Chain A
């Protein structure tokens, strides 16, 4: 009996981890390629979820039509996250790159992205207040019972989906011309420019991916847990940061491992020690790991060590 319950918790943990994976990959991509810790990511995640909710609840602005289908609304939410991400690119990353050369030597883009975090979060708070909103989808009670274990189908699909997206990303980075350009920029932006890579056209692609990953992850969250709130990004964002650090900065597969480890340790710690212990377990694990392996599990030696 005990082992069955434990195994159920392990399954729940892996499912929870699948939510963190996409966001952790978004973090790890921007830091790995651009050496930029993008704090807007939790806000983009929240933006996608809240825009999706708002459209499926109120419909398009100016009363063009009635409330939209949940899937269409979430798609528009993802597009909004991508547009928001491009806005951040324009006013933090590109601007400082033009003005200060390798801007990431300073903490400037980091601080600026914190500014954008506040702007997006409080814009949504002004528009919709701070209440948690129910998000209704056709999938309400779709648990699959397999050998006595409860597996929620949307959660299972989302785990598969996250891993597929990340696998696709990994292929993109390692096999395509675009991927090679991105890795060249990660190595050295100046030399990449000399080699004929149009850095200014390639960098926005990273931000489009960031927005897309956040949007997809938020949609998965909304479908699974049937709720969105202006604060949904904070919780997932901090856990995704932990996942990224555990996996190692800049490593896409590390983000998957990290996401699953964080999800697992969170559910197991709640199961054994109660709800408020998860914080200590997850961050304690991270701290202990960093003491013994200061670059995370699969981190590259050169990434994220630059001074501020």
Chain B
């Protein structure tokens, strides 16, 4: 594996994990436009844990996700009081506040960032990514996954049918925060450097686009979306500006062709029907 390839694979793995964190909240019908904030929490937590407390890598990553999950759990209560666009913008506000706190804190390195001493190989990122993807598929196949789908489609009816809507939403938000923290921890350990400016609004927007363009209906969505948008720009090896320009055109075009995302439940059913001769449901 060349250095370039392993670099691309590492970024792909981190993006896929990050996409699943946003997907799990989106699957309950809540758009999280503050992904970068939760990723930053995980990245800084693992930088501090590994540098100052001397935690081994595995423990660092576990605590980075626990920390991300804990903070999202606490944030979930006020955030879930808001709905729709207000909620999207409240999550956006949280990411801005996290970046602001980091920039103003001397302990967290302020604008200069922190150098992380430990480092990990691409293989570990890929193993974690595969685990997260499998977990995503498993979660969506359980009763909880079904409840999440119900809340996504209509929370009032789901509530009437005895689904604890609030618990599902808070749980999804917490789990999303934990996985985002994990992706941040991997980012910090792989690149060996964290700075607040990296975790900006563009990152939050892009990861949300991965998920929405991949499709929020099935667990395939974030995997396909993140791979598509990480690998396509690498394949189109042209100037950075042109790359994002084409990215924009693809997004607009994609919404025209497949507005519910690349992978939808209907499309999957059709594929299964062709392979098995019967529907999968």
Contacts and interface: CB of A to CB of B under 8 A. Distances in A.
Interface of A: 31, 37, 91-92, 95-96, 99-100, 106-108, 111-112, 114-119, 121-123, 125-126, 234, 238, 241-242, 245, 249, 273-274, 276-280, 282-284, 286-287, 290-291, 294-296, 304-308
A117 B252 contact: no
Contacts of B83: 294, 304-305, 307
A108 B92 contact: no
A119 B245 contact: yes
A307 B101 CA distance: 30
A41 to B, nearest CB: 14
Interface string B232-248: 00000001011011011
Given A304-B84, A305-B86, 19 more contacts: A37-B88, A91-B256, A111-B212, A114-B251, A115-B250, A116-B248, A118-B247, A119-B248, A119-B252, A121-B244, A234-B201, A242-B93, A280-B100, A282-B96, A286-B89, A296-B86, A305-B84, A307-B84, A308-B84
A93 B111 CA distance: 40
B89 A241 contact: yes
22 contacts: A106-B259, A107-B31, A114-B209, A115-B250, A116-B252, A118-B244, A118-B245, A118-B247, A234-B201, A238-B96, A241-B89, A241-B92, A277-B104, A279-B103, A280-B97, A280-B104, A283-B94, A286-B90, A287-B94, A296-B86, A304-B86, A306-B84
Contacts of B82: 290, 294
Top-3 shortest CB links A-B? A118-B248, A115-B251, A279-B100
A172 B102 CA distance: 45
B97 A287 contact: yes
Contact of B255 (A31, A108, A118, A245): A108
Nearest to B84: A305
